[in-house]
Each structure stands twice: as structure tokens, then as C-alpha cells.
């Protein structure tokens, strides 16, 4: 009797399992819906404060065209890489977008899979990995911002920021956590001629510095309101923010009587290794580099197209190009920075007591 009852129970359970599988296959809540998802881990800056940024427009068009829903997670470049590292044995995201040197760091940590999105052939060699692990999707440049309402005579040099008038009115995002924060170190080391003099300057600047910030994007509202007078940022993000923050102005510090300097700081995207929705990730990367999306980079996003065959002529593009007039653009040694980043971050922590 017990054997017969057991067989009956197993038969019922089997039937229920088959029914569940059948329902799922017919459009239930599990496998089918999961296939229409792509998860993006990204540095902040490309999503609009009011839902009007480049990501907002491109993601909406991608979802409409493909039926694939974009799940978006935002943070500092270093923060996003560290999250992906923690999840390496159980990858949760499909696409990673960060600023240098964090995209190179992600590659070095084995987080990225090789994939060449359609349109990559139109991206300059310097703006993509030779092994197809990542490619720039929006070009950009490092910069600073100031409150143009409060500072009618804007700062021009690094040295001016040491003035007591800036005490607790300057803030820059945390090197090693935020891409733009790390860029402060890169520019300082270039402008001052090496690690030691750069750290000496940043040690002196600490008197006026408010303190660490994990997100660069959160500094602009403080500058606009006058809570801060100066902060770091990048051209694309700050230009886009200035549409809603009228007191923001972008500038590039010079050392002494030298020229103002900057360097390219693109948003670079890569497909995560063992991505749960790898094919959807590839489709999104293709879409980000499509002609349609790239033509909106300046007009909607306030940035510079990654594709060299896109010649933007909109008002934003004209104004953005004007911002860089007279600015000396240098090319960082990304190989050195990728290898020695931890050393530079430790030196900064020691110098500033952070």
C-alpha cells in the first residue's frame, strides 16, 4: 500500500512540474522574460537628472526596437569595477561602462570578454582595446567647474585654489573610487611634473578641500548652489548639467603661467565575461555605437561622438569645441597608470591624510 501511494504521489508531482514548465514556456514569469533583459553597470554622467540624458534616449529607443529591457546601475567608475569583481563568480551584469583607467583595470582583472561592436572600425585605435575587450562609446575630456555667479573673476591656475578665500569651498571626488577623482591625480602629476610635486600640492590643497566624495556628479549641484565654489568633473557631464544648473562654468586649471591642460577621458564600454545575458549585451553595445545613437551624443548628451565618421554640427557640438580652444590636450601613459594606480592612490592617501 505504501509503495502504491508513493507512486501516486510521484506521479502527481511530476504532472505539476510538467505543468509549471509548460506555463513558463508559454510566457510565464521566469525564463522567457529574463531573456529580454540587459543589465548595465555604468559610471555616472550619461543619464540625465530629469530623464533627458543620452542614456535615457538611447535606452528607450533600444527597448522599443528590440524589446529588451535595460536594467541600469550607476556609481563611480572604481565602485562599479569593484562590484563586478565581487560578483565575478556569479556575474550579475552584462555591460560595464567606466572611465579610464578603470576599464583597463577591469580588463586586467579578467572581467571583460572580447567583442567588437558594429561600428568599432570607426573608433580611433587610441580609444579602444587592441584585443576588442572594450571600446569608447562617448568621447569626453577632464575638467573642473566653478560657480560663475559667485566668482565673477574665475580661477585660472592650480595655485589660485590655495587662496584662503577657497577654504571649505573646494571638493573633488575620491581618487580610486571615481574616475574623475582619479583624473585629478593624473592631471596634477602631468602639470606638476611627477608624483612627488603633485602630492605636495594636493597636500597643501587639503586645507581648502571639503573632503571625499564617491560620486563626481553630486558635486555639480553644490557648486551651482554656491555651497562649493570649485569642484572637479568632466566636460560631457558638466555641460549636460549646466542646462539645468545655470551657475556652472567649465574651466581647465593651468600651472603658473602655463597653458590650461586636459586629456581625453572617454566613457568606455565592454562586455562582461560570463554575462547572464551576453547576446543582449552585444546587441546593446552595437546600438550604443550605431550612427543613430552616436549622432545624439552631442545634441542630447553634451559629449563627443566616439565614431570619427560622425561630424556633429549641432549647437552643443559647436559650443563644446569652443570650450577646448587654447587647451593643451595631453595623452596619459595609461599602461603606467594601470600598473601603478594603487601606488598613486596610496601616495595620495598619505599626502592628504585621507
Averaged pLDDT, 82-96: 97
Q: Is the peptide bond before 101 cis (omega within 30 degrees of 0)?
A: yes
Question: How do residues 329-352 score in pLDDT, each as one tens digit?
Answer: 999 998 899 889 999 999 999 999
Find the DSSP H helices in 226-275.
Answer: 235-241
Question: How do residues 247-278 score in pLDDT, each as one tens digit?
Answer: 999 999 999 999 999 999 999 999 999 999 99
Helices and strands (DSSP H and E) totals, the chain: 13, 13
The DSSP call for residue 157 is: B
Query: 148: closest CA among 229, 247, 217?
Result: 247
pLDDT of 20 = 38
Question: How do residues 101-153 score in pLDDT, each as one tens digit?
Answer: 999 999 999 999 999 999 999 999 989 999 999 999 999 999 999 999 999 89
Question: How do residues 138-192 score in pLDDT, each as one tens digit?
Answer: 999 999 999 999 998 989 999 999 999 999 999 999 999 999 999 999 999 999 9
**Per-residue pLDDT band at 49 (split at 50, 70, 90):** confident
Output the pTM of the full model. Answer: 0.83
Contacts of 93 (CB under 8 A, 6+ apart): 39, 40, 41, 73, 84, 87, 272, 275
pLDDT of 331 = 92
DSSP-assigned letters across all residues of 52-95: -SHHHHHHHHHHHHH-PEEEEEEE-HHHHHHHHHHTGGG---SE
Query: 77: closest CA among 92, 94, 97?
Result: 97
Averaged pLDDT, 8-25: 39
pLDDT of 335 = 84
CA 118 – CA 81 distance, rounded (Å): 25
The answer, yes or no, to whether residue 193 has pLDDT greater than 80, is yes
**Per-residue pLDDT band at 13 (split at 50, 70, 90):** very low
The answer, yes or no, to whether residue 5 has pLDDT greater than 50, is no
pLDDT of 50 = 87
pLDDT of 90 = 96
Amino acid at each position: 500500500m505504501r509503495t502504491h501511494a508513493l507512486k501516486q504521489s510521484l506521479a502527481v508531482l511530476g504532472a505539476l512540474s510538467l505543468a509549471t514548465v509548460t506555463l513558463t514556456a508559454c510566457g510565464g514569469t521566469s525564463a522567457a522574460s529574463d531573456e529580454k533583459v540587459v543589465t548595465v553597470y555604468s559610471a555616472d554622467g550619461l543619464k540625465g537628472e530629469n530623464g533627458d540624458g543620452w542614456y535615457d534616449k538611447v535606452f528607450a529607443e533600444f527597448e522599443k526596437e528590440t524589446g529588451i529591457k535595460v536594467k541600469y546601475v550607476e556609481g563611480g567608475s572604481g565602485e562599479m569595477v569593484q562590484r563586478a569583481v565581487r560578483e565575478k563568480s556569479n556575474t550579475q551584469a552584462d555591460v560595464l561602462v567606466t572611465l579610464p583607467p578603470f576599464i583597463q583595470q577591469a580588463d586586467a582583472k579578467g572581467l571583460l570578454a572580447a567583442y567588437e561592436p558594429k561600428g568599432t572600425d570607426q573608433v580611433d585605435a587610441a580609444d579602444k582595446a587592441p584585443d576588442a575587450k572594450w571600446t569608447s562609446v562617448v568621447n569626453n575630456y577632464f575638467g573642473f567647474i566653478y560657480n560663475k555667479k559667485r566668482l565673477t573673476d574665475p580661477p585660472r591656475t592650480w595655485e589660485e585654489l590655495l587662496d584662503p578665500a577657497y577654504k571649505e569651498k573646494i571638493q573633488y571626488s575620491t581618487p580610486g573610487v571615481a574616475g574623475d577623482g582619479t583624473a585629478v591625480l593624473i592631471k596634477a602629476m602631468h602639470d606638476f611634473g611627477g608624483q612627488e610635486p603633485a602630492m605636495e600640492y594636493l597636500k597643501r590643497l587639503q586645507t581648502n578641500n571639503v573632503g571625499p566624495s564617491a560620486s563626481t556628479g553630486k558635486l555639480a549641484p553644490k557648486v551651482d548652489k554656491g555651497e562649493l565654489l570649485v569642484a572637479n568633473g568632466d566636460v560631457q557631464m558638466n555641460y549636460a548639467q549646466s542646462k539645468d544648473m545655470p551657475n556652472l562654468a567649465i574651466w581647465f586649471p593651468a600651472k603658473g603661467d602655463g597653458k590650461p591642460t586636459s586629456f581625453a577621458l572617454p566613457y568606455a564600454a565592454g562586455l562582461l565575461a560570463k554575462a547572464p545575458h551576453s547576446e543582449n549585451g552585444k546587441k546593446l553595445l552595437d546600438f550604443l555605437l550605431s550612427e543613430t545613437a552616436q549622432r545624439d551624443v552631442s545634441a542630447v548628451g553634451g559629449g563627443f561622438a566616439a565614431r570619427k565618421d560622425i561630424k556633429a554640427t549641432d549647437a552643443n557640438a559647436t559650443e563644446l569645441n569652443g570650450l577646448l580652444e587654447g587647451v593643451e590636450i595631453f595623452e596619459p601613459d595609461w599602461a603606467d597608470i594601470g600598473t601603478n594606480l594603487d601606488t598613486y592612490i596610496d601616495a595620495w592617501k598619505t599626502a592628504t591624510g585621507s
